[in-house]
Amino acid sequence: MNPLRVELEAVDGAARAGVVRTARGRYATPCFMPVGTRGAIKYLSAADYEALGVEIVLANTYHLMLRPGADVVARFGGVGAFAGWHGLTLTDSGGYQVFSLEPKVDDDGVTFRSVYDGSTHRLTPESAVHAQELLGADIQMVLDVCPPLPSPLAVLRLAVDRTATWAERARARHQREGQSLFGIVQGGTDEALRAESARRTAALAFVGYGIGGLSVGETRAEMLPALAAALAELPVDRPRYLMGVGDPASLVEAVLAGVDQFDCVMQTRLGRHGTALTSTGKVHVKAARHADEDDPVDAGCGCDVCRRHSRGYLRHLFAVGEPSAARLLSLHNVAWTLQLMRDLRAAIVGGRSAAFAANVLAVWA
């Protein structure tokens, strides 16, 4: 397994600012990874990623193994080369689909139907590793069981046990040089199970750790103690990745707890439906009240969308069904979130992360 180095530059309380070095490049933390599920962030291109300053993009194994197929992606040189993206990539194993598509799960793996044509497919810890080796991401994730919340304790227990067993199998199978493999912690909102899952996963000495199964219906007040219980058991010299979380309040609170990286589809999902993330909260650009507004989406945002376009113009584009509306607002939301993380990083380095978080939470909590 390729070693992955974490170089901490500053610590402020539990919050960390650093650099993670992979075999092929580096990314600064805390880090937000936009989600390119099928090999592209919706409405954006690899050129956009570069212009926005994205360092690492997430892609999904489940979708890419079905269309166009992991072997096809491999023939193009991996998902990054396939997409024309020169930065870093991380592939999610498909564990989230275990949660969202409700497939048949047994001790050996997962059987599900394709969302594209209804055909039946099988994922095991070993085949998920193999598929991700073909996809060629810089970081791949083990296959895990992500239970819905709330779930009975017995369901959470089974998910923790299966995730731990599958992690051991995945680690034994992984062999691609230059590619890192992260383990995943489960346990729902049960603090004892979270701590146990983290200990069992850390005992396998992965080079990084995902924390899954949160932000799946629980409140933030329920999420944070479970997150803290997991973080307390994970090694401090490895990256900690809170999976599927991207709302501003959760981002800053999780960073203050010691998380290093995040991913979420929220930024582009909101964008294509007409909602912008701003320093004053959500702005529903499609609302009629913005029709005559010459102000940018967010006067404090330096993105190209805010420099060029007014709320009135963007509202017009949505009103007439112009596809570029969704693209422009998605660009803004990704840019805004990336800048939030840069500002949070600077606050950690400057020893003022708590004050920075308080300002964000005053708007977003």
3-state secondary structure 145-179: CCCCCCCCHHHHHHHHHHHHHHHHHHHHHCCCCCC
Mean pLDDT across the stretch 44-57? 97
- pLDDT at 98 (0 to 100): 65
CATH fold of the domain at 15-264:
TIM Barrel (3.20.20)
**CA pair distance 312, 123, nearest whole angstrom:** 48
Is 2's pLDDT higher than 70? Answer: no
Query: Chain centroid to CA 62: how far?
Result: 15
Residues 331-364: tens digit of each pLDDT: 999 999 999 999 999 999 999 999 999 999 999 9
Bridge partner residues of 90 (DSSP): 58, 139
What is the dihedral angle through the alpha carbons of 257, 263, 267, 270, rounded to the nearest 10 degrees? -100
Residue in 20, 26, 177 with CA at minimum distance from that of residue 88: 26
pLDDT band at 94 (very low <50, low <70, confident <90, very high): confident
Residues 150-165: tens digit of each pLDDT: 999 999 999 999 999 9
| CA distances (Å), origin 157, targets 125, 191, 225 | 19, 12, 18
Residue in 184, 191, 182 with CA at minimum distance from that of residue 232: 191
Is 138 known to be catalytic?
A: no
**Angle 14-245-348 (CA atoms, 0-180°, nearest 5)?**
30
137 burial type by CB count under 10 A (0-12 exposed, 13-18 middle, 19+ buried): buried
- pLDDT at 97 (0 to 100): 77
- pLDDT at 95 (0 to 100): 74
Residues 271-292: tens digit of each pLDDT: 999 999 999 999 999 999 999 9
- pLDDT at 4 (0 to 100): 85
**Cα dihedral sign for 360, 191, 166, 174?**
positive
Catalytic residue (one of 48, 190, 263, 298):
263
Q: Structure tokens of 248?
A: 């501003």
Q: Are 146 and 95 in contact (CB under 8 A)?
A: yes
Query: 3-state class of 290 per DSSP?
Result: helix
**If phi over 0 gives left and psi between -120 and 50 gives alpha, with beta otherwise, what is residue 265?**
alpha
Is 304 known to be catalytic?
A: no
Whether residue 150 is preceded by a cis peptide bond, meaning omega within 30 degrees of 0, is yes
- pLDDT at 5 (0 to 100): 81
Strand order in the sheet with 110-113: 104-105, 110-113, 120-123
Catalytic residue (one of 12, 48, 92, 138):
92
Where do the domains of the chain lie?
15-264, 266-365
Q: Are 126 and 94 in contact (CB under 8 A)?
A: no
Percent of the chain whose predicted confidence (pLDDT) is above 90: 94
Residue in 146, 165, 267 with CA at minimum distance from that of residue 213: 146
CB atoms within 10 A of CB 189: 24
203 DSSP 8-state letter: T
Average pLDDT over the chain, rounded to an integer:
96
Percent of the chain whose predicted confidence (pLDDT) is above 70: 99
Q: Are 178 and 77 in contact (CB under 8 A)?
A: no
Q: Structure tokens of 45?
A: 């291109």
